[in-house]
Amino acid sequence: MAPRAALPLLLPAALAVLLLVAACSAAPGVFQVRRRFPAGGGAAALRAHDGRRHGRLLAAADLPLGGLGLPTDTGLYFTEIKLGTPPKRYYVQVDTGSDILWVNCISCDRCPRKSGLGLDLTLYDPKASSSGSPVSCDQGFCEATYKGKLLGCSANMPCEYSVMYGDGSSTTGFFVTDALQFDQVTGNGQTQPGNANVTFGCGAQQGGDLGSSNQALDGILGFGQANTSMLSQLAAAGKVKKIFAHCLDTINGGGIFAIGNVVQPKVKTTPLVADMPHYNVNLESIDVGGATLQLPAHVFETGEKKGTIIDSGTTLTYLPELVFQEVMFAVFKKHQDIKFHNVQDFMCFQYSGSVDDGFPTITFHFEDDLALHVYPHEYFFPNGNDIYCVGFQNGALQPKDGKDIVLMGDLVLSNKLVVYDLENQVIGWTDYNCSSSIKIKDDKTGATYTVNSHNISSGWRFHWRKSLVLLLVTVVCGYLIC
C-alpha cells in the first residue's frame, strides 16, 4: 500500500475538510473503488507495506487505518472521482484512517507526475475550473478549521493546511471549493451521475514518500472518524448517518464499501473504546480449536501503546509476542513434525493437504459476546506449490511502541461484512458472501436499496495479479447540483 495510507498528525496550522453538499434530491451516491497491485510484489513488499504503515500508526498521531492488501502482494485501493468544471478524473486512495480529501495541484513541488501503478495522473488546476474557488483565511470554513481567527490573516490570503505523517511524509497546501462528480444510486443496482460542492485540499508540496512515483495516486479521500472527516462533516450537516461498511471478497474478487444505514444483513456489535481516534475494541479471550488460551489479563488491556485495533488498512495481523507464541503452539499442536523455513521473513512450511481440514479455527472474543472466527485459509496464505506461510506476525519484531498492540488487518477481516456504526460507537461483523449484495436505507425517503458487489477487473487496462474492486456507496441526503 502506498505510504500515505495512515492517519496524519495535524500540525498547528493544520487541517480539516468540510464537504458542503448542495442538492436537488436525496439519493445514495456511488464511488467505484478499484484495487491496483504493483508488479514484482510478494511477501517482502507486503511486509514493507505494513512496516511503513506501522511507522505512522505508532508515531505521535497513533491513528491507524487505510487502504487494503492481499498477503501475496502489496495492494492499494483507490477510487476514481471527478473534480471541477469541466470535470477531470482523479485517482484518490480510499483511506479509512485519515480525515481530508486532497489532490495534487498544478503548482505542486515534488508531486509525482507519473505512477508506477500505470495510472495517468492529473494535477488539479483551480484556475482551469469555472466552478473552483479558493478558501481565504478570513472565511468561516477556515476559522472553524482552526477554531478561531488565524494570526496575520488578511483579506484574500489562502486558508492553508499542513499534515505531517509519523514516518516523515508530509503534505501542505491550501483549501479550495469545487464540484465533485460521482455516481448516485437511484434504485436497486441503478446509478446516475451526481454532483456536490466539496471543500478539499489543493496539495502544493509533498515530502517523503508522498513525492514518490512508485505507487503514486492523485490524492487521498479520508474516511476517518474524527470531526474533520468527510463522513463526520456530512453527518454534522444532517446529510448522512455516521455508518459505513465494507465487505472484501478474496475468493472471487470484488466487494462493497458503503456509507449509510445497512439494514441487511444484520450484524452483532461490540463497543468502540471511548476517546480513541482509531477503531479500538475490547478483546476478552482467544480460542484455538474451541480451547480457550490461558493468557494473562494484561494482554487484553486497552491504553496507550496497547489494546486491540481493527484496521482494514493493514494486511496481516500482529500479536504481542506472548499471544503469538501461545496461538502458534495451539495451531501446530497436532503437527509437531512440520518443519518451518523462512521465506522473506515469513514463517512458512510445506503441507499438501487442505489447511481447513488439518488446522483449527481461531476465535477472538470481544465485549458483548461478539466473536471473530478466523479460518485456516485466512490465517495461512499460499506462497508456492504446497507452501503455506503464517499471516499472523510476532509483535516482538515490530517497533517498540507496537509490541503490545493487537492489530487485526485485512487478512482476518476479509469475507466478512464489517459495519462501523459511529452513531452508536459500535463496530460489528458477520461472515458473509461478499460477492452478493447488501441493503442500505435512505433515512430521508425511507427507501431501501440493494447495493451489489462489483468486480471490474475484466478488461481493465492495468496489469493486475489479482483484482479486487469495491463499490463505495455514499448516501448523500443533501442538495445535489443538477
Strands 76-83 and 170-187: antiparallel
Q: Is 95 a catalytic residue?
A: yes
Catalytic residue, candidates 62, 95, 249, 410: 95
In one letter, which amino acid is 77? Answer: Y
Secondary structure element (H or E) that encloses residue 452, with its range: strand 448-452
Q: How far is CA 461 from CA 116, 118, 120, 327, 464, in A?
A: 14, 9, 12, 42, 9
**Residue 263 C-alpha from the chain's centroid:** 22
- What are the φ/ψ torsions at residue 179 (nearest 5 degrees)? -80, 135
Q: Is 311 a catalytic residue?
A: yes
Is the separation of the CB atoms in 61 and 218 below 8 Å? Answer: no
In one letter, which amino acid is 409? Answer: G
Q: Count H helices and E strands in the chain, helices first.
A: 7, 32
Give 262's strand partners.
Answer: 440
Residue 42 grid coordinates:
510478494
DSSP single-letter state for residue 396:
G
Is the separation of the CB atoms in 17 and 163 below 8 Å? Answer: no
Is the separation of the CB atoms in 100 and 15 below 8 Å? Answer: yes
b/e for 370-391, b at 16 or more Cβ within 10 A? bebebbbbbbbbebeeeebbbb
Catalytic residue, candidates 50, 62, 167, 311: 311
Residue 26 grid coordinates:
436525496
**Residue 417 C-alpha from the chain's centroid:** 14
Residue 380 grid coordinates:
495461512
Secondary structure element (H or E) that encloses residue 192, with its range: strand 190-207
Active site residues: 95, 311
